[in-house]
Amino acid sequence: MTEFIVNPFAELAEVSVGKHFYWEIAGFQLHGQVLLVSWVVLAIIAVLSFLGNSNLKSTPDGFQNFTELVTEFIRDLAKTQIGEEEYLAWVPYLGTVFLFILVSNWSGALLPWRLIELPSGELAAPTNDINTTVALALLTSISYFYAGIKKKGLGYFKRYVQPAAFLLPINVLEDFTKPLSLSFRLFGNILADELVVGVLVALVPLFIPIPIMLLGVFTSAIQALVFSTLAGAYIGEAVEDHH
């Protein structure tokens, strides 16, 4: 009898709804639709950034107003969650995460990806795929470990036995639940929103889905804010001085 060892991470990567467009590279199957739409999202962010920063003025106008508004928002978020001494170094990371998730979510809520026919599978927001949200969550975990070790050295790991040594298992478990919570919250909300809109469009293609789509735009922005806020809070917790 042949026994197969099931890789739990492979099973997690296959958590999905709908058909996928696969690319096979070096014997590995990649979700091609995630990469395609991610490139579109990155192109949108790059174009908006270029328009806002190509001709800077002392008195901002047009897209410069928009980019400065976004930058100030992210700086305030980072300062609130991380603190005045450390926040500047993490503005680029939090800003990148926030903008990528926001534009990805809005692309799923506003753009009719499913009208684009592929040889197999269908297009959708990158955050509609568990692999994307897990990758973002793991990057956040690596970031707050890096922040803590950079500031405190190996003394960072003392937090696992604070305020008492018997809390060690709980504190270790917390580091596993943080990325799980981040990834599944984002994935579940975006997937649910796209499924509801898809069902309503199929059943009642006129008017009724529009309020749901507008609600999806709002909740998509909230999900981007929640993810980046929690990422900032975890980094702030890692660099916090305990007295």
Q: Which has the higher per-residue pLDDT, 164 or 95? A: 95
- For the cut 50, the answer to whether the pLDDT of residue 1 exceeds it is no
SS3 at position 122: coil
Does this model's pTM top 0.75? My answer is yes
pLDDT digits (tens, 9 = 90+) for 177-188: 888 888 888 888
Q: How far apart are CA 38 and CA 113, in angstroms?
A: 12
Cβ 113 vs Cβ 78: under 8 Å: no
Beta bridge partners of 29: 24
Q: What is the pLDDT of residue 18?
A: 56
In the block, tokens 């007295």 appear at: 243
Quote the radius of gyration of the chain (alpha carbons, Å).
21
Q: What is the pLDDT of residue 59?
A: 76
Q: What is the pLDDT of residue 73?
A: 92
Contacting residues for 154 by C-beta, under 8 A, at least 6 apart: none
Closest of 138, 139, 157, 224 to residue 185, by C-alpha? 224
In the block, tokens 């739409």 appear at: 37
Q: Which has the higher per-residue pLDDT, 30 or 131? A: 131
Token duo for residue 133: 């949200």
Q: What is the pLDDT of residue 84?
A: 86
Q: What is the pLDDT of residue 3?
A: 43
CA dihedral for 154, 155, 156, 161, sign (positive or negative): positive
- For the cut 50, the answer to whether the pLDDT of residue 41 exceeds it is yes
Q: How far apart are CA 200 and CA 28, in angstroms?
A: 35
Beta bridge partners of 30: 23
Give residue limits of the domains in the chain.
Answer: 17-239
SS3 at position 22: strand
For 61-100, letters b (16+ CB in 10 Å) and e give eebbeebeebeeebeebbbebbeeebbeebbebbbebbbb
Token duo for residue 229: 């806020």
What confidence tier does 172 reach under pLDDT thresholds 50, 70, 90?
A: confident
